[in-house]
A and B are shown apart, each in its own frame.
Chain A
Amino acid sequence: MNEISQAFGVAGAMILGFDSKLIEIVLLSVSVSLVAVVIASIIGLPLGAAMAVGRFPGRQALIVVLNALMGLPPVVVGLVVYLLLSRAGPLGQYGILFTPSAMVVAQTILIVPIVAALSRQVIEDAWQEYREQLRSLGAGSVTSALTLLWDARFSLVTIVLAGFGRAAAEVGAVMIVGGNIDGVTRVMTTAIALETSKGDLPLALGLGMVLLALILMLNAAAFWVKEAAQRRFG
């Protein structure tokens, strides 16, 4: 018990003292997940809108698959990306395995289904309401999809933040494709896993607290954005 409370004390001191090791890991974590969520949004939001508005063969199957992929196990994504990026793999020539780029790839794959499937739901609800009016005004499918993306923007912010949270919190994929290399690919989650197994509790705990705080802040931001927008725009 004493050891744990001592660890909490050291962890708190590391956070408040901006421990350089801790800061480095947090910054890498945030930037990898940020890039991943930006790419995933660029792919996932239009995909979600297209599935909401478009009527094409295989649409329902695609919706089911994307919904299922929301629960994609990170280690499986890690394994697949590892195979693709390894020297012998089809994308081995780029040599990005065990770099932050590989982690971005893995996290992007992990959260594209989340962004696409959730935004599909939100946009399809709006589409039910808007459909006749937009068609009456002469909007085609693409225009309708863009209009709905813009009109649902506040709900979509929440979805994107959820994607970021998932990316920042997962450990399996980045562990496999990043390799948890000190100073290169060590992010919060992989560091926590390593330090815990080494018995270095203060750093693990400190990172854990930062991670928790980050997730909490994201959810608060998501809630606040939605709430404020609702009040402002209805």
Chain B
Amino acid sequence: MLPLVLDAISFRAGGKAIIDRVSVEISTGPRTVILGPNGAGKSVLMRLCHGLFEPTSGTIVWQGSNGGHRRQAMVFQRPVMLRRSALANVIYGMRLAGITSRERELRARDVLEAVGLLHLSGRPARMLSGGEQQRVALARAWALNPEVLFLDEPTANLDPGASRDIENIIAQIHASGTKIIMTTHNLGQARRLADEILFLHQGRLVERAAVEPFFRQPESAEAASFIRDEIP
């Protein structure tokens, strides 16, 4: 279904342009990190790509052959756990995707094992810790075997240990062949996880670069200032 082509998309709310004429082509392969300060419009851009919001103007096109809409999944900043077991949460997503019940059970156990939660699979998901809930959310998305996985600040609410677990899982999902598109405002995380950076500032796409040159020598003044302001 990739590449994903955004052509001059804008998203306006309350008379303000949250996203301002962004054009970009995101193709298969490298891990794309959308970086930028709070309020830059990262989450909105991601929701537009995922189809949760409709752009006010401009077009979003999945150009790949199987153009199917459902081969994508998203993990949110705050995991939404259904009031049922961790295993049932993973199975729920697969049931909506039309995966057969036998396969659901097997695959759910596989992904829960991969995120290190098989021993907690019977626990009510809402009783798990924040980090564990986010791992269940990742497992639920991963179980769909998506071609593209969107992640919106997946570690923003977590402590460093839990964040590291999440980052490791994201790396695994990437290694399994899923395209990663992720937002963060955390520079260290962007360095660790990104192959390429899309730098967003006040709703505009200011800079796109491979991760190494981006941090060594950003082209835009906004990105340079954002990197400089990092607290060591």
Contact = CB atoms under 8 A, between A and B. Distances in A.
B83 A132 contact: no
B83 A143 contact: no
Interface string A132-155: 110111110001000100111100
Nearest to B128: A234
Contact of A138 (B76, B80, B96, B126): B96
> Among B73, B96, B127, which residue has the most Cβ atoms of chain A within 10 A?
B96
Given A136-B50, A233-B126, A129 B80 contact: yes
Given A132-B76, A136-B50, A138-B70, A233 B83 contact: yes
Interface of A: 129-130, 132-133, 135-139, 143, 147, 150-153, 232-234
Among all A-B residue pairs, the 4 with the closest Cβ atoms? A234-B126, A133-B80, A233-B124, A151-B83
Contact of A151 (B52, B70, B82, B140): B82
A143 B96 contact: yes
Contacts of A138: 70, 96-97
B83 A136 contact: no
Given A138-B70, A139-B96, A151-B83, A132 B52 contact: yes
26 contacts: A129-B80, A132-B47, A132-B52, A132-B74, A132-B76, A133-B76, A136-B50, A136-B73, A136-B74, A136-B76, A137-B73, A137-B93, A137-B96, A137-B140, A138-B70, A147-B82, A150-B83, A151-B82, A151-B83, A152-B83, A153-B83, A233-B83, A233-B126, A234-B81, A234-B83, A234-B126
A74 to B, nearest CB: 35
Contacts of A136: 50, 52, 73-74, 76
Nearest to A234: B126
> Among B73, B83, B126, B127, which residue has the most Cβ atoms of chain A within 10 A?
B83
Interface size class on chain B is 20 to 34
A232 B140 CA distance: 22
Contacts of B73: 136-137
A135 B52 contact: yes
Interface of B: 47, 50, 52, 70, 73-74, 76, 80-84, 92-93, 96-97, 124-127, 140
A87 B3 CA distance: 71
Given A129-B80, A234-B126, 19 more contacts: A130-B82, A132-B47, A132-B76, A136-B50, A136-B52, A136-B76, A137-B73, A137-B93, A137-B96, A137-B97, A137-B140, A138-B97, A147-B82, A147-B92, A151-B82, A152-B83, A232-B127, A233-B124, A233-B127
Contacts of B52: 132, 135-136
A114 B59 CA distance: 45
Contacts of A143: 96
Nearest to B125: A234
B124 A232 contact: yes
A139 B80 CA distance: 14
Contacts of A151: 82-84
A147 B80 CA distance: 13
Contacts of A132: 47, 52, 74, 76, 80
Nearest to A230: B126
B44 to A, nearest CB: 12
Contacts of B82: 130, 147, 151
Contacts of A137: 73, 92-93, 96-97, 140
A111 B73 CA distance: 41
Contacts of A133: 76, 80
Nearest to B137: A133
A11 to B, nearest CB: 44
A234 B93 CA distance: 20
